[in-house]
Amino acid sequence: MRTSLTRKVALAFGLAALAVLLLMSFFAPENLSTPTALIGGEKGPLEVPPFGTDERGIPLLEYAMQGASIVTLPSLVSGAVVMLLATVAGLVRCAGLTWVDSVIQFGSELVGSLPRLVVVLVVALVLPVDWKTLLPIGITWALLAAPGAMDEAAATAGRLGGERFVEALRAHGFSGVRIYLYHVVWMNLRPVIVRQGAEVTMQVVFLEIALSYLALRRNEPSFTHSAAEFSWATLLYQGYTALLGSPLLHSLFTGLGLVALTAGMAQALRVAARAR
């Protein structure tokens, strides 16, 4: 009873957090407001709700919304890619396609041996200028994260009995669609698939923040978005200057809040999909 309630609350929180991200992304301004000051224009959250402004008088809400528009769609697509691949690996194990299973395992060993961020940076280097957005980088990350997810999904399907499980259900007269989609995927693989998808979604958001933050430290444009857009990393960078003494502590809290929202969403969805 209590577990069921926990799952429902977690699902509600996860979906609410996702809705907030989608709304911020949907209503994000194309360009930031015109600065009202060159320096010293910062205002706290009480003066300019909900987050205050930066030193140029630009509301932090606009940074938050633009950042959401950069990360939301690519991170969700990346999560979906991992979920799809993990589902395929689980189904392959249940279908008893041993040679496909072996190919997946060897591929997983090879792909899983590469440090992900290194590959992401190499991909960012060779991407044509027009393609330098978070989406291809996020999908690369998802493909690199997929071996782990596929391995876990296949192991879960294996523990279920693999081929014998499917045979047993066929003996009960269930159709293939019902067996694979309902019994295997929905009833048994769901916790693994949702958790892996949610984690990769969160990781891609954090990846964008990290790459943009590193580019900001070098005073260079990031390869995850255009130079006219601002990521959540800008808030954290302003927060970093606050740690060194500038009056922008509210930027730091806004940036950390957005990171916590993303992490909270992923954790909530993971808990909501937990096995009974």
d(CA 169, CA 200): 32
Candidate residues 45, 112, 158, 257; the one interacting with other proteins per rule CB under 8 A: 112
d(CA 162, CA 43): 60
Between vectors from CA 253 to CA 249 and to CA 38, what angle results, nearest 5°? 45
Q: How many CB atoms lie within 10 A of CB 243?
A: 10
Binding segment (CB under 8 A) for other proteins, from list 14-22, 24-32, 80-88, 218-226: 218-226
Both tokens assigned to 62: 């606009």
b/e string for 176-202 if b means 16 or more Cβ within 10 A?
A: eeebbeebbbeebbbbbbbbbbbbbbb
Cβ 185 to other proteins shortest distance, Å: 25
Q: Using alpha carbons only, what angle is made at residue 72 by residues 67 and 78, rounded to the nearest 5 degrees?
A: 130
Closest to other proteins by CB, 48 vs 259, is: 259
Counting residues that bind other proteins (by CB under 8 A) gives: 41
Q: Is the peptide bond before 49 cis (omega within 30 degrees of 0)?
A: no
User: Does 230 interact with other proteins (rule: CB under 8 A)?
Assistant: no
Which residues does residue 53 pair with via DSSP β-bridges, in sequence order?
Answer: 59
* C-beta of 37 vs 260, nearer to other proteins: 260
φ, ψ for residue 226, nearest 5 deg: -75, 160
- Inter-residue contact 76 to 208 (CB < 8 Å): no
Q: Binding string to other proteins for residues 71 to 110, with x set by CB under 8 A, is what?
A: ----------------------------------xx--xx
State which of residues 18, 139, 185, 215 lies at the interface with other proteins (CB under 8 A): 215
Q: Is 121 in the site for other proteins (CB under 8 A)?
A: yes
Q: How far apart are CA 98 and CA 89, in angstroms?
A: 11
| C-beta closer to other proteins: residue 91 or 252 | 252
Q: Which of 63, 165, 213, 253 binds other proteins (CB under 8 A)?
A: 213
Answer whether the bond into residue 147 is a cis peptide, omega within 30°.
Answer: no
List the structure tokens of 119: 């590959």
Stretches 62-70, 76-84, 91-99, 125-133: which one binds other proteins (CB under 8 A)? 125-133
Per CB under 8 A, the segment of 20-28, 42-50, 180-188, 209-217 that binds other proteins is 209-217
Judged by CB under 8 A, the residue of 37, 114, 168, 187 near other proteins is: 114
Q: Among the candidate windows 30-38, 63-71, 182-190, 205-213, which touches other proteins by CB under 8 A?
A: 205-213
256 binds other proteins (CB under 8 A): yes
Taking the least distance from each CB to other proteins, the nearer of 19 and 122 is: 122
- Alpha-carbon span 145 to 147, nearest angstrom: 6
Residues engaged in binding other proteins (CB under 8 A):
105-106, 109-110, 112-119, 121-129, 148, 206, 209-210, 213-215, 217-218, 220, 223, 236, 239-240, 243-244, 256, 259, 263, 267
